[in-house]
Amino acid sequence: MDTTSLKQLSDFRKTLHQYPELSGKEVETAKRVHDFFKVLEADQVITELGQTGLAFIFKGKEVGPTSMFRCELDGLPIKEENSIRHISTIPGKSHVCGHDGHMAIITGLGVELSKNRPKRGKVILLFQPAEETGEGAKAVIEDPKFRDIKPDFAFALHNLPNFESKQIIIKKGAFAAASTGMIIHFKGRNSHSAHPEAGNSPAEALAKTMVALERLPDAMKKFTLVTVIHAQLGEIAFGTTPGEATVRATLRAFENETRDLLVTYAEKLCLKIAKEYNLGVSFEYTEVFAATHNDPEAWEFGNEAAKKLKLKTKHIRIPFRWSEDFGLFSSHTKTLLFGLGSGKNQPQLHEPNFDFPDELIPTGVSMFQEIIEQIHN
């Protein structure tokens, strides 16, 4: 990648960084991406994919496989705290996960494809909405427009702090965890706080649930994790005992089946506690992420690309505990998600002073170019 192209992509990335939008609301971000791609003259452009998503398709002259390269449009509801010139201009919103950098990489791939189309098959560049909430991949896959471009392979990367800059982090099989947000509602009965015996407070059930949920993994054979992230007991009314309580927790596992088993155990536990205290109980689920599973054939393409580029590569043995919306594509096609080290001294993802390092852009573009070379030429 020449210096002019890198400067152009860096400037684009910084513009995206200044104007983050939250999941499902990435209207202006999508417009900026669409405007940039106009001069690249993709063979086919799909807009409003999964609501705000975009897909740019570059076609070869010969029949062949279809591969998809995906990035994320959305930012986070986090106030940025940084001294950079391109700091977020939107109060309480920021790109402190690096999705702006991922978009710059896929845009750079579009620049290269506009100059050199694949020899055979099709290459799809997907700008996916709502990754952070786990809703975007599902919306894209369920969109009728996606059925016409269903890929044979799908690839994505995520920048990873605490790893050497430009290092490739890769693994066969499970790469990132499955997870779900579980919301537990207990229903008791209010009373005057002077006569608590007349009511049925869920306070003790709430406390027991918070402790017991986080101990559930002790009984599981495979890796699981339960993290209680929020709890609420009644309302602030000093004359009234609480009649309702809510516990919110995130449940994780490296396999979808293990996560689902953990959910079943969590429900049984809560039902048992509710019965003990004569309470009603109900459940809701949100931000459901499938496990990201790297297909052996897709992994081979990524591993070979890193070798050809002579990039330092780390083959991890244990999957990451965090979840990625890209995991849902693993259930529909052969996928590879790999990490791109963003520096050992880089702030962690979602920290208020995180800023994607622009020097990673050429490495990300080159990795995807090499994968395309193997599949399509």
CA 286 to chain centre: 14
Q: Same domain for 25 and 166?
A: yes
Share of the chain above pLDDT 70, in %: 100
Q: Same domain for 32 and 155?
A: yes
Q: pLDDT per residue over 48-78, tens digit each?
A: 999 999 999 999 999 999 999 999 999 999 9
Q: Same domain for 86 and 231?
A: no
Q: How confident is the model at residue 270 (pLDDT cuts 50, 70, 90)?
A: very high
What is the domain count for the chain?
Answer: 2
Question: Could you tell me if 214 and 248 are in contact, meaning their C-beta atoms sit under 8 angstroms apart?
Answer: no
Distance, CA of 99 to CA of 17 (rounded, Å): 9
Domain end call among 288, 308, 326: 288
Domain CATH for 251: 3.30.70.360
Q: Same domain for 20 and 131?
A: yes
Q: Same domain for 19 and 120?
A: yes
Q: Same domain for 140 and 33?
A: yes
Q: Same domain for 8 and 120?
A: yes
Q: pLDDT per residue over 305-359, tens digit each?
A: 999 999 999 999 999 999 999 999 998 999 999 999 999 999 999 999 999 999 9
Q: Same domain for 212 and 339?
A: no
Distance, CA of 42 to CA of 82 (rounded, Å): 36
Domain CATH for 79: 3.40.630.10
Q: Same domain for 297 and 341?
A: yes
Domain end call among 288, 312, 341: 288
* pLDDT of amino acid 148: 85
This prediction's pTM: 0.93
- Written as six digits, the tokens of 120 are 């055979």
Question: Could you tell me if 76 and 349 are in contact, meaning their C-beta atoms sit under 8 angstroms apart?
Answer: no
Q: Same domain for 164 and 308?
A: yes
- Tell me the one-letter amino acid at 26: E
Q: Same domain for 154 and 104?
A: yes
Domain end call among 254, 288, 322: 288
Q: Same domain for 158 and 53?
A: yes
Q: Is the pLDDT at 303 greater than 90, yes or no? A: yes
Domain region containing 325: 3-175+291-376
Question: Could you tell me if 287 and 181 are in contact, meaning their C-beta atoms sit under 8 angstroms apart?
Answer: yes
